[in-house]
Structure 1
Amino acid sequence: MQLTTAVTAWHTAYAIARDRPAPLPAELTPVTAAVGRVAAAPARARSAVPAFDTAAMDGYAVAGPGPWTLTGRVLAGPAGHRLAMTAGTAVEIATGAVVPAGAEAVLQYETSHRDGSAVTGTCGPRDHIRRAGADVAAGDLVVAAGRVVTATTAAAAVQAGVDRLWTHRPPTVTLLVTGDEVVRDGPPGPGQVRDVFTGLVEAVSARAQARLSDARHVPDRPDRLQADLDAATSDVVVVTGASSAGAADHLHTVVDARHWIVRGVACRPGHPQGLAALPDGRWVVSLPGNPYAGLVAALTLLDPLLAALSGRRAGLPRRPVTGTARLVPDGVRIVPARHDGTIVPATGSGSLHAAASADYLAVLPADWTNGDNADVLEVP
C-alpha cells in the first residue's frame, strides 16, 4: 500500500513528539510524593551519612589495648553521644548505635569472650565502625537533575536530610472519544462499539506519571467537538477518531491547520494521526478511531510527548524481529511481536486481539528482512 509523500516519516514524527515539547515547570515536592517524577534540579545532602560514628557490628566498643573492663551498654539512640571512653574500657554496643568518643574499634561477639566485667579478644584489621560522612558528606549530590525519582532514590535523599525536591509537574490529559457509534459501558447494540481508548490512554499516561483528568464521549458534531476542546484545561488533549477525511471527521476543521506539527504519519496502521501545538500551550494528539491503529498512534506520538513534558526522554530500544510482514514501500509497518522477537499474525487495524498477546510493537522499515533488528514500542 502506497502512502502519500505529504505525511511525516514515522521516525521523524516520533522525534518531533519526543524533542519538541519542553518539560513542564518545576514545583517543590515532598520527597515521598516525588516518587515517579523527574528531578528538575540537583539535590544535595543536608547532613552526612552516617551522621555520627556508628557501630557496624554487635559486640563491644573498646578503647586502648585489651583486656578491657566493661563499663556499660549502648543501644541505638542518642545515649552514646553522652559517653566517653578511656583506655582499657569496653562498652557493649548494638549495630547502629552511636560509638562513644574515645572508642577505637568494635570487637565482635564472635571474636570476643566475656567473663563478668572482663572482656578479652583480638581486634581484626577492620575496626567495624562506620565513620561520620563515610558514605555521604554534607553538600554531596544525592539526586541528579533529570533523574526519575525511585523509592530508593527518595529514601536515600531522606537519609541525607533532604525533605523536598524540585520536580517537573506531571502533565494532565483530557480524552475526547468521538463517534456516534461509541458506547462507554454495557454491551454494544447494533452498529455500536465499546470505548476501548479510555483504558489505553490512561495506561500510556501513567507511564509518564501523567494524570487522565477527564475522559468524555463526544458525538459526531463539529460544534460539540469545538466546545469540548475549548473547555479542556489539561496540558494534553487526546482526540480519538475524527482525524481522517470522512464526513464525520471534524478535528482538522476544528483545529487550525497552522497549529498542526504532524498531520499524517507514514506508517501502517495508524496513518491518520496528528500532533498540534495550540497557541495557549496545550497539545492536541489525534488518534485514529480503529483500535489497533489508535494504539500505534498513542505509542508514536502520545507516549513520547508525555515523557517529554514530564522531563523524561523516551527511548527506542532495538531487538531482532523474526517472521513475515507485509512491508510498506514508502513508510513503516508496525506489527505486534513477543519477547522472543516473533511477529504475532495481525488481525487488522480494527482489532486489538494480536496486540493483546504481544509484548511490544515492532517498527519495520521497507528494507527490513527476517531476523533484522527493529525499533520496538512497549505495549501498555
Structure 2
Amino acid sequence: MEPQPHTVESYRDAVLRLVNALPPEHIALDQALGRSTAEAVTARLPVPAFDNAAMDGYAVRSHDVANADRDRPATLTRLSYVRAGSSLPQALHAGEARPVMTGAPVPPGADLVIPVESTASGRFDDSATVEVWPSGRANIRRRGEDIAAGALVIPRGATLGPRDLALLAATGHDGVLVHRKARVAIVATGDELSSSLPDGGIPDSNSVYLRAAIASVGADIASTLVARDDVAALREALDTAARDADLIVSTGGVGPGTHDLAGRLAAEAPGGTLATVAMRPGRPQAHATWRGTPWLALPGNPTAAFVSFEAFVRPVLGRLGGGAEHSGTAAETVSVGWESRPGAVRFVPLSVGGDAESVSVSPFGPPSHASHSLSAMFRAPLIAMLGAETADVRPGQLVRVIEPA
C-alpha cells in the first residue's frame, strides 16, 4: 500500500477519530490530581459557608455605634467569646458586643465587626463592658459572597490541579466524577533493540521515554514489549498488547525499508493507514485498530518518536482521558534568525535566553540539523513548531513553542 500524504492537522484528526473518552468513575479528591472531570461541578456549599468575622474584634449592631468616635466611644455590654469553629451564637441584642475571632460566625443581629484596635483598651480582656467606635468598614464576610451554592466551580473536561482540588473541598465535595485513566501498551520493534551491546545493538530509549511521557500526562502503562523484525513476532506482541490496553503505541518499522513491518501490518488492519506526514522529523506514521484496540505506530528514530508523541499521542491520550486534545503551545520571540525551507511543519529545539523583562529563544545548536540531534531535542527546554508555510525565521519573529514533558 502506498503511504497517504497528510498534514500534521489532518493526521491528528485521523488518529483522534480512533478513540473516545473513557467511561467515568467517581473517586476521592486525594486520588484525582491530574484527572479530567467527566461533568461540570457546582458548589454544594457556599463560600463562605456562613457570615463570619474578617478580623479579630467585636460584633455589634451598627445602630449602637452610629454616633461614636474615638473621642466619644460607645459603651456596650461585653458577652462571651466566639472562636472559629464555634457553633452559631445567640442573636445579638441592642447594647451588646460579642468578641469574635477571625473566621468565627457572626451572631444574628450583628452587622458590623469593630477591630479590637478600635476599642479603648486596644485588646481583649474580661471586663463587663467595652468602649468601641466604628472603623469605617463592616469587616464581615457574608455567606456566599465569594461562591454561591450551585455556582459552577469546575467545568467539564478540566484537568484537575492542586488548586482545583482545594476549591472542590471548600465547596463541599469529598470526591469527583472523572474519566478513567487510559492504559497504554508500548511495543518497541527492531532486531537491533535485542542485540548485545556494544556490537551493533541500540539502547531502547524510546520505551524509556514513552513510559515516562505517558505517565507524565496521567495515563498508566499496561505493558512494555519488544518485538523482533518478524511478522509473527510482531503480531504476537500486538496481540498481547491489545489484551489489557486502551491504546497501543509502537515505535519503529513504519518506513519503506525491507524490515519495516509495523506500517505494513497497520495498513492491512481495520481502519489502517500508512501515512507520510508533512513534518520534520517524524514523516512516516501509521495507525490502525488491532484486536479492537487503537494503535499508533510511530517512527523508530528517537527524535521523531519524541515529536510524534507531542503531535499525536498526547492529543489521543487527552481525548481518552476526557481532557485537552492538543499539545499546549505558546508564542515566543526569537533572538537569532535562521534559514529554513517551507513545505513541512518543523520541530526545532530552542534554548531560552534574556532576563525577566525580555525573554527570547534561539536554536539549540546548529539550526540545520538541530531537529535531528538527539542531545538537542532531549535537552532543549522548548521546541519550536514552525508552520509548513514558514520560510526563513527572522530575529524578533514570534514562533509557536511546545514545552515538552
- Under a length normalisation based on structure 2, what TM-score does the superposition of the two structures give? 0.83
State which of 331, 336, 349 in structure 1 corresponds to 2:344.
Answer: 331
State which of 344, 350, 370 in structure 1 corresponds to 2:393.
Answer: 370
Distance 1:332 1:139 in 2: 46
User: Post-superposition, which runs of at least 4 consecutive aligned residues in structure 1 deviate over 6 A?
Assistant: none
| 1:135–1:349 CA distance, 2 compared to 1 (3 A) | closer
Deviations 1:301-335 (A, max 9, x none): 112211222221314434444432553x6423322
Query: Equivalent residue for 2:237?
Result: 228
Query: Equivalent residue for 1:271?
Result: 283
Distance 2:135 2:207 in 1: 63
Query: Equivalent residue for 2:193?
Result: 182
- Give, in angstroms, the shift of residue 120 of structure 1: 1.5
| 1:204–1:11 CA distance, 2 compared to 1 (3 A) | same
Query: Equivalent residue for 2:355?
Result: none
SS state at 1:29 partner: strand
| 1:168–1:377 CA distance, 2 compared to 1 (3 A) | same
Query: Equivalent residue for 1:30?
Result: 28
SS state at 1:341 partner: strand
Amino acid at match of 2:314: D
Matches within 5 A, 1:324-363: 324-327=338-341, 330-339=343-352, 340-344=360-364, 345=366, 347=369, 351-363=373-385
- Give, in angstroms, the shift of residue 24 of structure 1: 2.0
Amino acid at match of 2:163: T
Distance 1:355 1:89 in 2: 71
Aligned residues of 1:261 and 1:277 also touching (Cα < 8 A): no
Aligned residues of 2:190 and 2:229 also touching (Cα < 8 A): yes
SS state at 2:168 partner: helix
Matches within 5 A, 1:1-380: 6-17=4-15, 21-63=19-61, 64-65=64-65, 66-79=74-87, 81-114=88-121, 116-182=127-193, 188-232=197-241, 233-255=244-266, 256-261=268-273, 263-278=275-290, 280=292, 282-311=293-322, 312-314=324-326, 315-321=328-334, 322-327=336-341, 330-339=343-352, 340-344=360-364, 345=366, 347=369, 351-364=373-386, 365=388, 367-371=390-394, 372-380=397-405
Aligned residues of 1:44 and 1:162 also touching (Cα < 8 A): no
| 1:317–1:348 CA distance, 2 compared to 1 (3 A) | closer
Distance 2:235 2:168 in 1: 46
Amino acid at match of 2:105: V
SS state at 1:324 partner: coil
- Give, in angstroms, the shift of residue 355 of structure 1: 1.2
Aligned residues of 1:74 and 1:94 also touching (Cα < 8 A): yes
Deviations 1:236-295 (A, max 9, x none): 111111222323222133332552246221222211222324472x22111211111221
Distance 1:17 1:320 in 2: 31
> 256-265 vs 224-233, which deviates more?
256-265
- Under a length normalisation based on structure 1, what TM-score does the superposition of the two structures give? 0.88
Distance 2:319 2:391 in 1: 29
Aligned residues of 1:181 and 1:191 also touching (Cα < 8 A): yes
Query: Any gaps of 5 or more consecutive residues in structure 1?
Result: none
| 1:199–1:68 CA distance, 2 compared to 1 (3 A) | farther
Amino acid at match of 1:188: L
- Give, in angstroms, the shift of residue 199 of structure 1: 3.0
> 200-209 vs 161-170, which deviates more?
200-209
Distance 2:273 2:134 in 1: 71
- Length, aligned pairs only: 372
Query: Equivalent residue for 2:71?
Result: none
Aligned residues of 1:355 and 1:379 also touching (Cα < 8 A): no
Query: Any gaps of 5 or more consecutive residues in structure 2?
Result: 66-73, 353-359
Superposed CA RMSD: 2.6
Distance 2:339 2:160 in 1: 40
Amino acid at match of 2:298: L
Distance 1:92 1:204 in 2: 55
| 1:240–1:135 CA distance, 2 compared to 1 (3 A) | same
| 1:262–1:72 CA distance, 2 compared to 1 (3 A) | farther
Distance 1:284 1:5 in 2: 17
Amino acid at match of 2:83: L
Percent identity of the aligned residues?
Answer: 31
| 1:142–1:308 CA distance, 2 compared to 1 (3 A) | same
Distance 1:294 1:302 in 2: 10
- Give, in angstroms, the shift of residue 76 of structure 1: 1.5
Distance 1:147 1:25 in 2: 16
Distance 2:290 2:217 in 1: 21
